[in-house]
């Protein structure tokens, strides 16, 4: 991760995310399943999290009212292209494959892909060393693509609809490892510290992992892309992203490619 640098998003006033579509200028698509610390629902059913706060800040900067629309992760790109949502804000990495069908704003964060397993497991997570092991991963993610590229010939890859399902199988001993966003695994690792531990981050592959996470947009939304990207750039000096990160206990871990 030494080739990455931290970028800050700021906010000039705050327009709250609205639950009323009649008031919304932009429909923001998030994955329906919890993905803490980025997106999840509180006890009242409202969407909260690091990425929700970032969306609030960006919507404020571009003077738009935004509505959260929860969408199944594996259908979120089709929903965008079908005009059911206007923006994807679901920790979606900007990859060459995805750019064939949608566009992206400037990136607003990047995080290492981390392999985790049992405490008594081996820290060597190379494909040859994990031959014969079962590795869990959320379907339709950059992490699934990485496993398919590097581990399909040596290990068994088990896919899950949600990250939580993969986590549960790992903690129950039904699989040997999982590969996922390191930040998204933090809380899970803390809750299972007696039986699991973090392994090393896997080697970075720009073709698979992309160039950071951005807002997903339709290809014909050049004006919206310009607005969102300009907002990210113009708000970089204010320090709001750093404050949001600190709020969720991840200050200093949100990074971007140089």
For the chain, give every domain's residue range.
4-109+211-257, 113-208
pLDDT value, residue 171: 93
pLDDT of residue 239: 79
Predicted local confidence at residue 12, as pLDDT: 29
- CATH architecture, domain defined by 113-208: 3-Layer(aba) Sandwich (3.40)
Give the CATH fold of the 4-109+211-257 domain. D-Maltodextrin-Binding Protein; domain 2 (3.40.190)
C-alpha of 106 from chain center: 15
Q: Are 204 and 95 in contact (CB under 8 A)?
A: no
3-state class of 173 per DSSP?
coil
How many angstroms separate the Cα of 93 from the Cα of each of 41, 44, 155, 234, 239? Answer: 22, 29, 24, 21, 23
DSSP state letters, 88-149: E-S--B--TTGGGT-EE-S--BB--EEEEEETTS-S---TTTTTT-EEEEETTSHHHHHHHH
Q: In this predicted structure, what is the pLDDT of residue 2?
A: 34
Model pLDDT, residue 254: 53
Would the CATH topology of 4-109+211-257 be identical to that of 113-208? yes
Strand 177-181 to strand 134-138: parallel, antiparallel, or no bridges (unpaired)? parallel
Tell me, what's the pLDDT at 236? 67
Q: Give bridge partners of residue 140 from the DSSP assignment.
A: none
Task: Give the pLDDT score at 4.
Answer: 30
pLDDT attached to residue 23: 46
In angstroms, the CA 130 to CA 152 distance is 11
Helices (H) and strands (E) in the chain, counts: 8, 14
First vs last Cα of the chain: how many Å apart?
A: 11
Mean pLDDT by 10 residues, the chain (258 residues): 33 35 76 93 95 94 94 96 97 95 93 88 85 96 97 97 95 95 89 83 93 94 94 76 83 50
Q: How many whole angstroms separate alpha carbon 164 and alpha carbon 149?
A: 23
């Amino acid at each position: 991760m030494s080739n990455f640098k931290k970028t800050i998003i700021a906010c000039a006033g705050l327009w709250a995310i609205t639950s009323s579509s009649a008031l919304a200028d932009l429909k923001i698509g998030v994955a329906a399943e919890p993905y803490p610390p980025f997106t999840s629902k509180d006890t009242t059913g409202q969407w909260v999290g690091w990425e929700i706060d970032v969306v609030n800040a960006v919507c404020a900067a571009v003077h738009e009212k935004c509505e959260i629309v929860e969408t199944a992760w594996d259908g979120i790109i089709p929903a965008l292209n079908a005009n059911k949502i206007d923006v994807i804000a679901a920790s979606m990495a900007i990859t060459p494959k995805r750019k064939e069908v949608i566009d992206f704003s400037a990136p607003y964060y990047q995080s290492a892909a981390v392999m985790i397993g049992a405490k008594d497991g081996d820290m060597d997570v190379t494909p040859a060393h994990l031959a014969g092991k079962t590795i869990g991963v959320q379907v339709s993610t950059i992490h699934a693509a990485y496993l398919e590229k590097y581990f399909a010939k040596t290990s068994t890859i088990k896919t899950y609809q949600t990250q939580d399902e993969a986590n549960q199988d790992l903690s129950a001993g039904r699989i040997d490892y999982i590969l996922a966003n390191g930040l998204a695994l933090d809380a899970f690792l803390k809750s299972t510290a007696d039986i699991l531990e973090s392994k090393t981050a896997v080697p970075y592959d720009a073709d698979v992992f992309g160039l950071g996470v951005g807002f997903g947009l339709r290809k014909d939304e050049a004006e919206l892309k310009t607005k969102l990207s300009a907002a990210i750039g113009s708000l970089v000096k204010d320090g709001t992203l750093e404050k949001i990160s600190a709020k969720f206990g991840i200050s200093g871990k949100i990074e971007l490619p140089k």
